[in-house]
Chains A and B, each alone.
Chain A
Amino acid sequence: MNERPHLAVVGAGPAGLAAALAAAGRGVRVTLIDSAAEAGGQFYRQTAAALGARRPQALHHQWRTWERLRDGLAVHIEAGRITHLTDHHVWFVERHDAPRGADGADGPGRVADGAGGFTAHALLGPEQEQPVAVRADAVLLATGGYEKVLPFPGWTLPGVVTAGGAQAMLKGGLVLPGRTAVVAGTGPLLMPVAAGLAAAGAKVAALVESADPRAFVRHARTLAAQPATSAAKLAEGAQYAAELARHRVRTLVHHTVVAAHGSGRLEAVTVAALDGDGRIRPGTERRIPCDSLAVGHGMLPHTDLAQALGCRLDGLNVAVDDEQRTDVPGVWAAGETTGIGGAVLSMAEGRIAGLSIAARLDSRTPDVRSYQAAAKARTGLREFFAALEAVYAPPAHWTEQITDDTVVCRCEEVPASAIREAVDELGAGDVRTVKLLTRAGMGWCQGRMCGPAVAGLAGCAPEPSRRPFARPVPLGVLARAGETDDQGNVTAY
């Protein structure tokens, strides 16, 4: 058996890759487990190889950084230091209490603080029926995030997609949601999405951002407090703005989509200006014909695996210390699962986690100097994104725009009226009670799509959901999940 300690990294986006490279470079054997066909995560989502893209970078930013990650991964795979499992969807990470192995094999692989190792349970391929188990001495969760979308009348019409979804379909499959798009919502993702769609040949009729430009002024001091970070980020913003101008995309700030219209599919959206209180300014409504709407209101972290392991959350994010350790021994977390902050922050966190893991698996304390630059970048970017979060906000009174017949829970088709009834007449004051009374959040997506909307309608703060498994699991797989062979590292059962 291999004596070197073994790390399982869940997620091959910027955070997971940076961590895998850092750890593998210091003698740790790494298994990188990811659901996509190729590494990259959402930010560096790769075009399917069979599509033969000779200039994939036209759909990306910070491509040189990606090349470094990609080439580094290839070198480690070639040398046998990293095993990359593609198309593996991890649904549960199991923590073993007792030291494993009857032979008392407490080699260098045992985490110093006593964890008995882990098994990452995954399902193979898009059908997700064949199980795979990966044993490891330590786990890094780099599960990233997904988009938050708040409902509005018409948001279930075909042609209405998440902003990130439009980008993922474009990067991965080289397709557009339609010929004429509106990009709307709030957040730093909207500009690159609009620029990408326009470059790929869509007519982008408008970029509709609900943030109030005055909020930028209010937060200017925080945004400028980290000069290096701000300069880089402002340059990035200016680059997107130039691309939008080149494609003659008009940007409507402090505006919102009031409704999407169409019969059977999207035909137009109504947009309106917002007043100082964040309400629709009467008389400013206008209709924009379009066959696609890419909409998003920020990002949410994927924390299911961390929660099932018992990791403490800080708000909606996995709580980590300066070394990116969770409060569960042997479990680290990095990237957007610990807080939304973009690819550069994710890579800094991943690098710190990888160096910490390599040291801790060798019963050493990591040398802080080895990741000084990454720690500095992490501090600056976290502050910057905290300020951005205050600037990019949905309209203050977005719940007022949701008509009673608007479907809020897309899976169970629960209308806003049912949720309001549960709150106003039945006294529900939290997402869980609303769910029990209305079925909102009980469907396929397990409340990932409607959670923030239900919380808003119930007048409570969004709270993390507790989901025992990170994705649907066939019952046959679940029944046999305990019967893993703990000798091998990758075991089909």
Chain B
Amino acid sequence: MTSRRSPLSPLTPQSPQSPQSPLELVRARPNPAFTVTFDDREITALPGQTIAAALWSAGITSWRTTRERGEPRGVFCGIGVCFDCLVTVNGQANQRACLVRAEAGDVIRTQEGNGHHE
């Protein structure tokens, strides 16, 4: 079958070099980006995004280690039900990254165990 161009497709063909992004898909014109830090590393976030979305955008998929096995965890349910995405934001542990909106200057840290060791 020859490739057909759909209204949803980008003008350039899909290839690993030029992936179409969700922002392109909905023709987003976001408000200006800002910076937050994750474990002292600066990352860029867009206004409106949750902490989890900002971390995903930066290619980060885990930000908690479990209490017993020390295993990495990140988003699982994405809607606030599972509590797997707990993270420490501005010194406050056990925040659900999928619910909390990112704000300019947020200091985000990997949460180890129950988050109360520090």
CB within 8 Å of B: which residues of A? 35, 37, 42, 47-56, 58-59, 126-127, 146-147, 156, 158-162, 164-170, 172-179, 199-203, 243, 246-247, 264-265, 407, 410-413, 443-445, 448-449
Contacts and interface: CB of A to CB of B under 8 A. Distances in A.
Contacts, number: 182
A175 B77 contact: no
Interface in B68-118: 68-69, 71-84, 86, 92, 95-96, 98-101
A175 B49 contact: yes
A178 B55 CA distance: 12
B22 A176 contact: yes
Contact of B28 (A51, A169, A172, A445): A51
A243 B7 CA distance: 11
A411 B6 CA distance: 43
A199 B7 CA distance: 10
A56 B28 CA distance: 8
B37 to A, nearest CB: 19
Could you say which of A161, A247, A411 has the most chain B C-beta atoms within 10 Å of its C-beta? A161
Bin the interface of chain B by size. Answer: 35 or more
B83 A51 contact: no
Contact of B26 (A55, A127, A412): A55
B44 interface: no
A158 B74 contact: yes
Given A55-B27, A174-B21, A444-B82, 6 more contacts: A50-B46, A165-B75, A200-B21, A201-B20, A201-B24, A264-B62
A413 to B, nearest CB: 4
A410 B75 CA distance: 12
A168 B47 contact: no
A47 B46 CA distance: 12
A175 B6 contact: no
B36 interface: no
A246 B82 contact: no
B23 A174 contact: yes
A56 B30 CA distance: 13
B50 interface: yes
B27 A54 contact: yes
- Counting chain A CB atoms within 10 Å of each CB, which of B28, B81, B92 scores highest? B81
Contacts of B95: 126-127
Contacts of B19: 179, 201-203
A174 B66 CA distance: 28
Contacts of B24: 201
- Which of A126, A170, A449 counts the most B-chain CB atoms under 10 A from its CB? A126
A303 to B, nearest CB: 13
Given A174-B28, A176-B22, A200-B21, A164 B79 contact: yes
Contacts of A172: 50, 53
Given A50-B48, A173-B49, A411 B68 contact: no
B6 A146 contact: no
Given A52-B28, A200-B20, A449-B82, A246 B52 contact: no
B61 A53 contact: no
B29 interface: yes
B32 to A, nearest CB: 10
Contacts of B67: 413
Most A C-beta atoms less than 10 A away, residue of B29, B66, B69, B82: B82
Contacts of B52: 169, 173
22 contacts: A35-B80, A37-B101, A47-B26, A48-B101, A50-B31, A50-B46, A51-B46, A58-B26, A127-B92, A146-B77, A146-B79, A159-B74, A164-B78, A168-B79, A200-B25, A201-B25, A246-B6, A412-B68, A413-B69, A443-B83, A449-B77, A449-B81
Contact of A166 (B29, B50, B61, B78): B78
Please provide the 6 A-B residue pairs with the shortest distance between their CB atoms, ordered closest to farther.
Answer: A165-B78, A48-B48, A173-B53, A50-B48, A444-B83, A201-B20
A127 B73 CA distance: 20
B115 to A, nearest CB: 12
B61 A159 contact: yes
Nearest to B56: A175
B41 interface: no
Contact of B81 (A59, A146, A203, A412): A146
Nearest to B68: A413
B73 A156 contact: yes
A448 B82 contact: yes
A164 B77 contact: yes
A50 B98 contact: no
A169 to B, nearest CB: 5
B79 A42 contact: yes
A223 B50 CA distance: 40
A243 B52 CA distance: 28
A166 to B, nearest CB: 7
Contacts of A54: 26-29
A88 B91 CA distance: 23
B11 interface: no
B113 to A, nearest CB: 11
A56 B26 contact: yes
